[in-house]
Structure formats: C-alpha cells, structure tokens
Amino acid sequence: METPKSKLSLGVSLVVLGLILILGRSPTNVATENTFANEPVKVEGFNQTSESFTNYPERIVIPGAGIDLPVKKADIVRGYWEVFDDSAGWGGGSGLPGQIGNQVIFAHARQGLFLPLKNVHLGDRVYVLAAEGWFSYIATDIKEVYPSQVEVIKPTDDETLTLYTCSGYQDTKRLIVVAKRVTE
C-alpha cells in the first residue's frame, strides 16, 4: 500500500524529470553545426585580386522589408567569406554594382540584419548605394537552398544581385533573393 509520503516523492520525481526533459538541451537539439557562423559561405569561382575596387556596395535598402544596412567588404579567408555581426557583407570578388556579374550581399538572419529578408516579395525594389551612386534592382526569384548549393552565388553573365541569409529549422537552409538591375 502506498503512503502519502511515497506518492509525494513520486510526484516530485516526475515533475523534476519532466523539467529536465523539457528544459534540458541535448546536442541534437542545439543548432551548432549548421548555423551561418559555423558554416560560412564556401567560395569557389571568385577571383579576389589585390586590385582596388572603387564601386563596391556600401549600403543596402529594401523598403518593403524594412531593411537599411551598411555593407562591408567581406574578404575570402581560408576559402570562405567573412561574416559580420553588425552589417551586411559584400562578397569580395563577386560582382559590382553597374557591372556584369553576380553581386553577392549576405548577413545573419537576425533582427537588425537580414531577418526581414523573409518578407521580400517578387517585384520588390532593392537599392544598393556605391561610390558611383544608387543602383536599383527588382526581386525576380526567391528560393530556399541547402548550404551545399553554392551555384546560387556563382558568377553570372548579366548584372545580378543575390541576397543570402540563413533560414529553415535551426538555420539548416539558406534563403536566396535574386534581383535584376532596372534603370529608370
């Protein structure tokens, strides 16, 4: 026969076990291997030379998504582009505003960075400020890819702007917004 004391002990034990299961984090529940910071953009096919770029992106504005960020040049370090905590990055060696090529701008999917990129719609305007002035683009493709699908950042034969950030459950995918230049 159970006593009130044994029922109380069993109840407390079950509550503690439940809290451990709910609040405890096992390594399989923590996104450490597939985050943008731990799995940066593998760079292949870009030629980062020592030449001086004078028209690289300095600011990106997407009014429809509420994005207005400074852009820094991200150098290639050990085969990967640098990622910044306080701004977007322009992939060094990728295309430049006003020129043929794939201009790649990326940032963390965090508030104050590219988290609102998920709110961009086809047809939305994207503006890039460079030394030569403002360049206007229109979103023409939006998709999710896996980090291994690096063809989305490969050089192109036309003027393309590719925006890149993390998405999906535990940041296991990448949100890609492709925009094409428009002249007004």
Is residue 25 included in any domain, yes or no? Answer: no
Question: How far is the C-alpha of 152 from the C-alpha of 53, rounded, in Å?
Answer: 23
Is residue 124 included in any domain, yes or no? Answer: yes
Task: Please tell me which of 63-67, 74-78, 92-96 the model is most confident about, judged by mean pLDDT.
Answer: 63-67
Question: How far is the C-alpha of 58 from the C-alpha of 114, rounded, in Å?
Answer: 16
What amino acid is encoded at 68 in this protein? D
Distances from the Cα of 127 to the Cα of 25, 56, 134, 148, 154, angstroms: 41, 13, 7, 28, 21
- pLDDT tens for 139-150 read 999 999 999 899
CATH of the domain at 173: 2.40.260.10
Is residue 21 included in any domain, yes or no? Answer: no
SS3 46: coil
**Partners of 174 in beta bridges:** 145, 166
pTM: predicted TM-score of the whole model, two decimal places: 0.76
Is residue 92 included in any domain, yes or no? Answer: yes
What percentage of residues in the chain have a pLDDT greater than 90? Answer: 62
Q: Count Cβ atoms within 10 A of the Cβ of residue 63 and give its class: 0-12 exposed, 13-18 middle, 19 or more buried.
A: exposed
The mean pLDDT of 119-146, rounded to a whole number, is: 97
Residue 87 pLDDT > 90, yes or no?
A: yes
Per-residue pLDDT band for 121 (boundaries 50, 70, 90) equals very high
- What per-residue confidence (pLDDT) applies to 89? 96
Is residue 108 included in any domain, yes or no? Answer: yes
- pLDDT tens for 19-43 read 555 555 444 433 333 344 455 666 6
Is residue 63 included in any domain, yes or no? Answer: yes
Range of the domain at 175: 59-182
Is residue 116 included in any domain, yes or no? Answer: yes
Is residue 14 included in any domain, yes or no? Answer: no
Query: Domain total for the chain?
Result: 1
Task: Please tell me which of 51-55, 70-74, 170-174 the model is most confident about, judged by mean pLDDT.
Answer: 70-74
Question: How far is the C-alpha of 2 from the C-alpha of 53, rounded, in Å?
Answer: 80
In this structure, what are the phi and psi dihedrals at residue 74, rounded to the nearest 5 degrees? -100, 115
